[in-house]
Structure 1
Amino acid sequence: MRPLLRSSLGVLPFLGSHSATESRVITQAGLPTYPRKMMHYQTEERGQLNSPNYRMYFKNSEGKYISPFHDIPLFTEAQQQLYNMVVEVPRWSNAKMEIATKEPLNPIKQDIKKGKLRYVANVFPHKGYIWNYGALPQTWEDPNHTDKDTKCGGDNDPIDVCDIGSMVCSPGQVIQVKVLGILAMIDEGETDWKVIAINTEDPDAENLNNIDDVRKSRPGHLEATVDWFKKYKVPDGKPENQFAFDGQFKDKDFAIKTIKSTHEHWRALVQKKTNGGEIECKNISVCASPFKCSVDETRDVVQSAPASGSTLPVSPEVDKWYFL
C-alpha cells in the first residue's frame, strides 16, 4: 500500500501576516500552487493507525522530509508575535498523539504506557481533549533548567499549546496562533507549561488578545482547562496534578517570555551546547547544528518505518465516562 500523504499550510517567517490555512486534500501526485509567502507542509503516514507502529512524518514544500520539532520555524510573524503550532491531538479526540522526541525526524506517534496505546479518559463533563492540543516547534523544556518560579525542571518536551479556537483541527496540521496566556502545571515534579492560544483563522481571534479577554468572553473555559489538567490522569490511578501560582493563569507577556526561554533552550540543544540525553536532533535546516543531515539520510529514516496499512479498531473502553 502506498504511503498516505496529507497536506497543510504554514507561513514562512518574516514574510508577512497572511494567516495559516489547511488543505484537507490527500495529495498523491504533485503539489498545488500557493502564494509565495505560504509554506506547504505535507504529512506521510506509515504503519497502521491505532497501533504502536503508526508514525506520521513531515515534508516541506520541496518534498523533503523534515522534523516538526526542529525544522518548522517557531515564529510565523515575529513582529506581530505569531507562532506556528503543530497540532498533535484534535479537539474531542482521546488518542494521546505526540511528537516523538526520541526518534529520528520526530514523527507524530501515539504514546504507549505499560505496553498499551494511551488514550486520555473522558472525565465528566469533558469528552477527550477540550481544545486542539499540540506543541510549538523549536522550543524545549530543559529538564536540567530549574525554573525560578516553579522551582522545578522542565519536562523534556517542546512546550505544549492549547488552541481554544472553535475549529477542530487535524493531526499534523500546522496552524498560526496568537498567544494569550500560560498555565504552569507541575507533573510528577516537572514543570509542564501549557500555552493558551487561538488559531488566527478563528472568527474570535481578532477580539482575543490576552488571558483576561478569554475570561470575559468565554466564562468557565479557563476553569474547565484547569479542571481537565488536574484530573485527566486520575482514572489511570495517579494523583491529581498540581500547579504553580495557585493554578492561576499568567498573562500574554509572561507567556511570551517563557516561550522565548524555551526557544533558547532548544537552540542550545540543537547546537549541542547542552546535554539533551536521548532527544533526537536530526534536522535539515538549523544553522550551526552538528545534527544537520542530508536528504538521503532523512529518506532512509522514513523508508525504514513500516509500510502504511489499514486502520485498526479502537476499544469501546475509550468511550467510557469517569465521574470524579
Structure 2
Amino acid sequence: MSYRVEQRAKANSLEFRLFFKNCKGNYISPFHDIPLYADEAKGLFNMIVEVPRWTNAKMEIATKDPLNPIKQDVKKGKLRYVANVFPHKGYIWNYGALPQTWENPSHIDENTGFGGDNDPIDVCDIGSKVCERGEVIKVKILGTLALIDEGETDWKIIAINADDPDACHYNDIEDVRRLKPNYLESTVDWFRIYKVPDGKPENQFAFNAEYKNKDFAINIIKSTHDHWKALVTKNSVEGEINCTNTTVQESPFICKPEEAESIVKATPPCGPPNPISEDVDKWHYYEKN
C-alpha cells in the first residue's frame, strides 16, 4: 500500500505537523494504522522515515497527538536539532520507526533491566538512498543495538531498504560489518556522544555496546508489537499515548474518516518555512573519555 503526507503549518516551527494519508486519500495514524509487516512471508517490515540522512532536525512521530503526525521535538520551548559532532553530519542513516510497536515504560526489559522509552521502536536504515521525511519504505532487519538513554531502554534496529541495489547482500548484522567497515562502530559512537554538546553525559549501552543479530532483533520487534496491541485495544491508555486510529477494528479508539479530517483541519495550514539558526550547522569536537 502506498502512503502520502500532508504538511500543516510552517516547517521549522513549533506548530509544524506532517499528517499521513492512505492510498484512498483518508487520513491515518502512521503509528497505529500502517501495518508492521510490509510482507510477512518475505520478512519485510514497514519503516516510517522521520529523519532523512545528513539532516539535523530531530523529527519524531507525535505519540501524544491525535493521529500521531510527525513533528519536531521540543526541549524547553525550543525546536531540537542534533549537533554535528565531527566527523558526523546530522543523522548518519535514514532514521525512523517501525509502526505498530511500542517500547512499554512499565515493562522491565530482561536484557537491559530498564523500562521502555514510551515510543515506537527506532530504526536506522543503512541503505544508500537518502529518503524523504514521511516516506514509508520496506526494510530488511539485520540486527539491533541496545541503547540505555537516560535510564530507559531504547532499542536501535539496524535495517536496510529492501529496494537498495545491494540489499540482497545483507542478511544479518555481520554482513554490515563485512561490507561496510567501521559503519557499526561509527553508529555506536554517534549514539554514545550525540547529546554531549547539549551538556549531557555519554549514553550507555547494554551488552557492552555489542550488536545482536537479526533473529534477536526480530524477537524484540515482536515483543514491542505485542505491547502495542495491548495498548491500542484496551480502554485506558498508558504513558499519555494517543491511540486515535482509523483502521484497528478491535480498538476503542477508532474514529471515522470525517473525525480524522477534522483533527487535521484544526491545525494551521501550510506556510513558507521559518529560517533556521546558523548554530545548527556548527561543528563540535569531542574527545572520548
Aligned to 2:176: 214
Q: Which amino acid aligns with 1:154?
A: G
Q: How far has the Cα of 1:274 moved from its partner?
A: 6.8
Q: Please tell me whether the aligned partners of residues 268 and 274 of structure 1 are also in contact (alpha carbons under 8 angstroms).
A: no
Q: Measure the CA separation in 2 of the matches of 1:139 and 1:46.
A: 25
For residue 57 of structure 2, the aligned residue among 89, 95, 99 is 95
Q: How far has the Cα of 1:273 moved from its partner?
A: 6.7
Aligned to 1:5: none
Aligned to 1:195: 157
Q: Please tell me whether the aligned partners of residues 246 and 254 of structure 2 are also in contact (alpha carbons under 8 angstroms).
A: yes
2:206 is equivalent to residue 250 of structure 1: no
For residue 285 of structure 1, the aligned residue among 247, 259, 264 is 247
Q: What do you get for the CA RMSD once the two structures are aligned?
A: 0.8
Q: Measure the CA separation in 2 of the matches of 1:137 and 1:40.
A: 15
Q: How far has the Cα of 1:181 moved from its partner?
A: 0.1
Structure 1 stretches of 4+ with a deviation exceeding 6 A read none
State the TM-score, normalizing by the size of structure 1.
0.87
SS at match of 1:153: coil
Q: Which amino acid aligns with 1:295?
A: P
Aligned to 2:114: 152
Instruction: Single out whichever of 265-274 and 42-51 deviates more from structure 2.
Output: 265-274
Matching of residues 102-113 of structure 1 within 5 Å? 102-113=64-75
Q: Measure the CA separation in 2 of the matches of 1:93 and 1:84.
A: 21
The one-character-per-residue Cα deviations of 1:226-245 (angstroms, maximum 9, x if unpaired) are 00000000000000000000
Aligned-residue sequence identity (percent) comes to 65
For residue 89 of structure 2, the aligned residue among 88, 109, 127 is 127
Q: Measure the CA separation in 1 of the matches of 2:237 and 2:73.
A: 24
Q: Measure the CA separation in 2 of the matches of 1:318 and 1:110.
A: 14
Higher RCO (CA-CA < 8 Å; seq separation 6+):
2
Aligned to 2:99: 137
SS at match of 2:2: strand
Aligned to 1:83: 45
> 5+ unaligned residues in a row in structure 1: which ranges?
1-38
Q: Measure the CA separation in 1 of the matches of 2:136 and 2:238.
A: 25
Q: How far has the Cα of 1:277 moved from its partner?
A: 3.0
Q: Measure the CA separation in 1 of the matches of 2:235 and 2:245.
A: 16
Aligned to 1:317: 279
The one-character-per-residue Cα deviations of 1:41-63 (angstroms, maximum 9, x if unpaired) are 11000000011110000000111
SS at match of 2:41: coil
Aligned to 2:9: 47
Q: Measure the CA separation in 2 of the matches of 1:210 and 1:266.
A: 26
